[in-house]
């Protein structure tokens, strides 16, 4: 079996570099009967939303098998586990806490701590309670305040047993895919919707940070953002300008307000009607100090001019693709990290997601996923290169611990380092999991 390895002098081989695996609540938990419905339950129930017409009703049945899953995580030898809390499992519609739901996460965190695994909690990985969506969801400013209340309840209950709290996972996906393009829940379409949702998500982050600072001053608090490194399709000035606009619109729209308290200039190039309403004081709430920023990276994006002063994304060419059709470009990962570091005064960075889907086959009890091992090798080296160029990166989480519900693509795409047979819920460590485990046990 081939291995995952890093250059001998890599700082990532030292024990203080944190390695983990990541999941999210809706993608693995199942047990919908013990929580209130969320926007993904509703979205999945609509026709033509999910590639295989599936839903999160069972997923990996993690609520049932959580003890076995904790044992599996511990067996991998990781330092940390990144999980998300289902908002609707811990809060009831009337604003009271769901005591049993909180207990589930308390037990999970305690079990992980007993195995000496650091717990990285994400408070919002896209599963907004449906009753809040009925009141406008992220288009309604009140949702940001409801989120802060939820953050207060969770951080009070779990406290500093949780090593790190991230407020949101990938607000780009919630806002753009969910409210602008409509390919994710809640399936709304419109630029004004997308921009307003983005602003309220960022506001929610800022308000939740205030609660976290108060309740868990010693936990590491921040946010997780996703980036696709922007490239221009050609050397023409029009395409270079388009790539810069695409970068501002999809990447910097989320990080610049957090770190500098302003939106990128590309805001002035969209119609006034589509610009978000920003109340006085909002940008100060958004731009609070973060202890870390989580970076999720999978691939790059290639842009060209649409001929009318705006950008469009082109289907990339020239690199091998994952089963998602995403180009494998590890250099773009280094470029992203180095450029973020040059542009901003960054807090410490954790790579909170990185990984790939391939068409895995379980044959005679084994999954030989050499392409995934290659992906991890090249991308860990990309992180190592960025560290050597001065970027302060503290940890790396493989996406994902196990195959799970891949949003609009349902169960048709497998990102896990552990294979899940959904009919039996049998988990099998793929060769990539064995290679990750071997690499972790060889650290200095």
**Active-site annotation, residues:** 170, 353
Complex with ligand FCB: residue 248 or 406, whichever CB lies closer: 406
Complex with ligand FCB: residue 104 or 227, whichever CB lies closer: 227
Complex with ligand FCB: residue 173 or 295, whichever CB lies closer: 173
Nearest in space to 356 (alpha carbons), one of 328, 386, 336? 328
Q: Where would I find the beta strands (DSSP E) of 191-263?
A: 220-232
Note the residue count of the chain.
444
Minimum CB separation from ligand FCB for residue 405, in Å?
9
Helix (H) / strand (E) containing 39: helix 39-44
Distance of CA 273 to the CA centre of its chain: 30
Alpha-carbon gap, residue 374 to 386, rounded angstroms:
19
Complex with ligand FCB: residue 24 or 49, whichever CB lies closer: 24
Residue 26 near residue 407, CB atoms below 8 Å: no
Minimum CB separation from ligand FCB for residue 8, in Å?
31
The torsion angles phi and psi of 232, rounded to 5 degrees, stand at -95, 145
Using the structure block, give the residue that is written with the tokens 């997601």. Answer: 353
Residue 99 near residue 139, CB atoms below 8 Å: no
Complex with ligand FCB: residue 170 or 248, whichever CB lies closer: 170
Minimum CB separation from ligand FCB for residue 393, in Å?
19
Helix (H) / strand (E) containing 148: helix 142-158
3-state DSSP assignment of residue 209? helix
DSSP states along 54-87 = --SSSTT-HHHHHHHHHHHHHHHT-SEEEEE--H
Complex with ligand FCB: residue 153 or 175, whichever CB lies closer: 175
Minimum CB separation from ligand FCB for residue 159, in Å?
25
Minimum CB separation from ligand FCB for residue 401, in Å?
12
Alpha-carbon gap, residue 213 to 152, rounded angstroms:
10
Complex with ligand FCB: residue 168 or 233, whichever CB lies closer: 168
Alpha-carbon gap, residue 22 to 392, rounded angstroms:
21
Distance of CA 51 to the CA centre of its chain: 21
Residues 6 or more apart in contact with residue 385 via CB below 8 angstroms: 334
Positions touching ligand FCB (CB under 6 A) are 24, 27, 169-170, 173, 226, 296, 353, 399, 406-407, 415
Minimum CB separation from ligand FCB for residue 190, in Å?
22
Minimum CB separation from ligand FCB for residue 80, in Å?
17
In terms of Cβ atoms closer than 10 Å to its own Cβ (0-12, 13-18, 19+), residue 22 is buried
């Amino acid at each position: 079996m081939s291995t995952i390895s890093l250059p001998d002098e890599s700082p990532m081989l030292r024990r203080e570099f944190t390695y983990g695996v990541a999941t999210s609540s809706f993608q693995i938990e199942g047990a919908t009967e013990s929580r209130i419905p969320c926007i993904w339950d509703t979205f999945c129930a609509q026709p033509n939303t999910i590639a295989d017409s599936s839903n999160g009703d069972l997923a990996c049945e993690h609520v049932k098998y959580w003890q076995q899953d904790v044992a599996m995580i511990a067996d991998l030898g990781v330092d940390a586990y990144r999980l998300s809390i289902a908002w609707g499992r811990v809060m009831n519609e009337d604003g009271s806490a769901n005591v049993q739901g909180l207990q589930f996460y308390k037990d999970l965190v305690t079990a992980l701590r007993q195995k000496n695994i650091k717990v990285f909690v994400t408070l919002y990985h896209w599963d907004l309670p449906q009753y809040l969506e009925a009141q406008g969801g992220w288009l309604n400013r009140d949702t940001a305040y409801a989120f802060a209340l939820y953050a207060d309840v969770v951080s009070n209950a779990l406290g500093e047993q949780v090593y790190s709290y991230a407020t949101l996972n990938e607000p780009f996906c919630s806002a753009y895919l969910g409210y602008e393009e409509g390919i994710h829940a809640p399936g709304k379409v419109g630029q004004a919707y997308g921009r307003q949702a983005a602003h309220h998500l960022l506001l929610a982050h800022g308000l939740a940070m205030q609660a976290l600072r108060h309740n868990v001053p010693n936990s590491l608090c921040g946010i997780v953002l996703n980036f696709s490194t922007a490239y221009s399709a050609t050397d023409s000035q029009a395409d270079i300008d388009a790539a810069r606009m695409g970068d501002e619109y999809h990447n910097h729209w989320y990080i610049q307000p957090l770190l500098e308290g302003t939106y990128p200039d590309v805001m002035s190039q969209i119609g006034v009607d589509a610009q978000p309403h920003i109340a006085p004081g909002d940008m100060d709430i958004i731009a609070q100090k973060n202890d870390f920023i989580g970076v999720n990276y999978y691939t790059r994006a290639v842009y060209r001019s649409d001929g009318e002063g705006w950008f469009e994304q082109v289907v990339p060419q020239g690199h091998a693709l994952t089963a998602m059709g995403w180009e494998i470009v590890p250099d773009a990962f280094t470029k992203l990290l180095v450029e973020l570091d040059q542009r901003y005064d960054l807090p410490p960075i954790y790579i909170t997601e990185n990984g790939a889907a391939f068409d895995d086959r379980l044959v005679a009890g084994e999954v030989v996923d050499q392409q995934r091992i290659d992906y991890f090798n090249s991308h860990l080296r990309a992180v190592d290169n960025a560290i050597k160029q001065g970027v302060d990166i503290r940890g790396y989480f493989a996406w994902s611990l196990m195959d799970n519900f891949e949003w609009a693509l349902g169960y048709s795409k497998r990102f896990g380092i552990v294979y899940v047979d959904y009919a039996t819920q049998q988990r099998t460590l793929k060769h990539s999991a064995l290679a990750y485990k071997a690499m972790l046990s060889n650290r200095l």
